[in-house]
């Protein structure tokens, strides 16, 4: 099947999309890749498409027809929630990404909770609200800390842990005041779960799924997990604390029931199911679902697949995962550290030039671009999360040393990064 794939369009502009390009080319370096809109890094290995808006589905369809695109890979959540996959399917364009209906698992936390309740999937006690007073009353009923979430998409930042009534009131008021846009028109208030947080990724074909593995994500902007939530400051994988038995329990209690619910709701799910989990003393509990690869989780997952990425994605789009034998390198330890613009995740610096000449990169330690553009031959920082430094080694200790050695070579006064990524990563592996 993969020999029929010659041209691929990747939707997105982050470090995730740069990592996806790299994985596709590792599968087949003769592929012709297009990235819409892409970044300064994807421009070096693919053709960036800057003249089409990511929300203009008809122009994307026309581009696919005019350029004989064999596969579309949708990276970010917003196009999925907006139904881009459905529109491509209707035009007989091969696409990897769940339908608009299935994408509600990420697009609406209330929908996700409803699906969890319908299948007895373990998750936190919660209620949903559209006004502030009853929401605050429920916070007091749960006790503190409690968790307040914007129902809709908020770029990974719409979750606030309130440690007091005052903090809860500030969080609730900010959401209803529009600090997270329309995402905060409805909110979820839920109990605070304690345990070990982990991200779990599977590729689904609508019926079957193939597990890709577990990642730990550092969400807070400050070291020792302090400060505001971000889209992710760094990641590491694999996660030694997850046993085969625990993974099987997660598959049986969370992943399989969810995909069954999607089938029963006629919600086509051919794409990535990304479960945010808390491993509690009572067992694994679902925090949230995403319907695409995480960023920067993707950066530490895909290198462990070797040359299988293209064939895996094609098998999922063709609903052939039951015949696919996925081999993952569990011995390889991967770390990703994110270089951010000063001020992130609030208003941050932008438009500054980056120089990456004479940076010593290698196959097992390299830079992926995220919030960058290539303008007149110069790399310009345009986003809050600017670069990803990815390193692999036989141990996390070595991988961290490689990543931070690269960062020390980047002389950029307008950015910062955390110094404690993968600090608590356990070396032992299954």
Tens digits of per-residue pLDDT, 332-363? 999 999 999 999 999 999 999 999 999 999 99
Give the pLDDT of residue 46: 98
- Domains of the chain (ranges; CATH) run 2-98 (3.40.50.20), 125-191 (3.30.1490.20), 195-323 (3.30.470.20), 333-416 (3.90.600.10)
Per-residue model confidence as pLDDT tens digits over 290-307: 999 999 999 999 999 999
Rounded Cα distance between 146 and 124, Å, is 10
Spatial neighbors of 78 by CB under 8 A, at least 6 apart, are 54, 153
What is the spatial distance between Cα 250 and Cα 256, in angstroms, rounded to a whole number?
Answer: 9
Residues 37 and 47 sit within 8 Å (Cβ to Cβ): no
Query: Could you tell me the two tokens for 424?
Result: 């608590």
pLDDT exceeds 90 at position 13: yes
Question: Tokens in use for 320?
Answer: 């052939």
Q: How much of the chain exceeds pLDDT 90, in percent?
A: 93
Checking if the pLDDT of 324 tops 90, the result is yes
- List, in order, residues 6 or more apart from 127 with CB less than 8 Å away: 138, 188, 189, 190
pLDDT tier at 115, thresholds 50, 70, 90 = very high
For 154, the token pair is 């908020």
- Tens-place pLDDT, residues 19-77: 999 999 999 999 999 999 999 999 999 999 999 999 999 999 999 999 999 999 999 99
Q: What is the pLDDT averaged over residues 7-19?
A: 98
Q: Which pLDDT belongs to residue 158?
A: 85
The proportion of the chain whose per-residue pLDDT surpasses 70, expressed as a percent, equals 99
Tokens of 223: 């070291």
* Burial category of 428 from C-beta neighbours within 10 Å (exposed 0-12, middle 13-18, buried 19 and up): exposed
Indicate if the pLDDT at residue 212 is higher than 90.
yes
Compute the distance between CA of residue 85 and CA of residue 88 in angstroms, rounded to an integer: 5
d(CA 305, CA 313): 12
Quick check: 308 and 386 in contact, CB under 8 A? no
CB 293 within 8 A of CB 272: yes
Q: What is the mean pLDDT of residues 309-319?
A: 97
Q: Which pLDDT value is given to residue 229?
A: 86
Strand 71-74 to 7-12 pairing: parallel
Question: Average per-residue pLDDT in the chain?
Answer: 95
Residue 1: band (very low, low, confident or very high) from pLDDT cuts 50, 70, 90: low
- pTM of this structure: 0.94
Torsion of CA 320, 79, 290, 208, to 10 degrees: -10
SS3 at position 43? helix
Name the phi and psi angles at 353, rounded to 5: -85, 140
Pairwise CA distance, residues 242 & 284, whole Å: 10
pLDDT band at 247 (very low <50, low <70, confident <90, very high): very high
Question: What's the mean pLDDT in 155-178?
Answer: 91
Quote the tokens at residue 396.
């996390």
Residue 197 has pLDDT above 80, yes or no: yes
216 vs 234: CA distance, rounded Å = 9
Summarize the confidence of residues 390-404 as an average pLDDT.
Answer: 97
Pinpoint the alpha helices (H) of 73-192: 77-81, 84-90, 104-107, 109-118, 132-142, 165-176
Nearest alpha carbon to residue 123 among 141, 156, 147: 147
Measured between alpha carbons, how far is 379 from 13 in angstroms, rounded to an integer? 14
CA distances from 241 to 95, 220, 429 (A): 34, 21, 8
Q: What angle do CA 244, 111, 130 make, to 5 degrees?
A: 130
Q: Is residue 155 predicted with pLDDT exceeding 80? A: no
Band of residue 330 on the pLDDT scale cut at 50, 70, 90: confident
Angle at 193 between CA 191 and CA 196, to 5 degrees: 165
Structure tokens at 214: 């577990």
Question: Confidence band (pLDDT; 50, 70, 90) for 184?
Answer: confident
């Amino acid at each position: 099947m993969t020999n029929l794939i010659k041209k691929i369009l990747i939707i997105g502009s982050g470090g995730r999309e740069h990592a996806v390009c790299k994985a596709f080319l590792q599968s087949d370096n003769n592929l012709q890749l297009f990235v819409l809109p892409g970044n300064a890094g994807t421009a070096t290995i693919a053709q960036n498409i800057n003249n089409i808006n990511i929300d203009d589905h008809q122009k994307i369809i026309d581009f696919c027809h005019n350029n004989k695109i064999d596969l579309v890979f949708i990276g970010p959540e917003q196009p999925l929630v907006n139904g881009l996959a459905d529109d491509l399917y209707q035009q007989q364009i091969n696409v990897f990404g769940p339908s608009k209906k299935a994408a509600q698992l990420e697009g609406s936390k209330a929908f996700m909770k409803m699906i969890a309740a319908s299948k007895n999937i373990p998750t936190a006690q919660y209620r949903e609200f559209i006004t502030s007073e009853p929401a605050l009353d429920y916070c007091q009923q749960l006790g503190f800390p409690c968790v307040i979430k914007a129902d809709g998409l908020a770029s990974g930042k719409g979750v606030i842990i309130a440690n007091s009534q005052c903090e809860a009131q500030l969080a609730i008021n900010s959401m209803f005041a529009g600090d997270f846009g329309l995402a905060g028109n409805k909110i979820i208030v839920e109990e605070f779960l304690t345990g070990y947080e982990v991200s779990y990724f599977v590729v689904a074909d609508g019926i079957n799924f193939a597990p890709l593995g577990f990642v730990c994500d550092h969400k807070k902007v400050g070291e020792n997990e302090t400060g505001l939530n971000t889209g992710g400051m760094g990641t590491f994988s694999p996660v030694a604390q997850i046993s085969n038995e625990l993974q099987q329990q997660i598959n049986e209690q969370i992943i399989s029931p969810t995909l069954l619910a999607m089938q029963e709701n006629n919600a086509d799910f051919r794409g990535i199911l990304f479960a945010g989990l808390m491993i509690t003393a009572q067992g694994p509990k679902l925090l949230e679902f995403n319907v695409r690869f995480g960023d920067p989780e993707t950066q530490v997952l895909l290198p462990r697949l070797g040359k299988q990425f293209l064939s895996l994605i094609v098998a999922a789009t063709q609903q052939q995962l039951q015949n696919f034998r996925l081999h993952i390198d569990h011995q390889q330890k991967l770390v990703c550290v994110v270089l951010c613009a000063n001020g992130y995740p609030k208003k941050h610096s932008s438009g500054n030039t980056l120089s990456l000449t004479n940076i010593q990169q290698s196959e097992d330690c390299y830079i992926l671009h995220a919030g960058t553009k290539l303008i007149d031959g110069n790399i310009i920082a345009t986003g809050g999360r600017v670069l990803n430094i990815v390193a692999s080694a036989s141990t996390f200790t070595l991988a961290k040393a490689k990543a931070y050695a690269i960062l020390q070579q980047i002389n950029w006064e307008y950015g910062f990064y955390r110094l404690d990524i993968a600090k608590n990563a356990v070396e032992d592996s299954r």
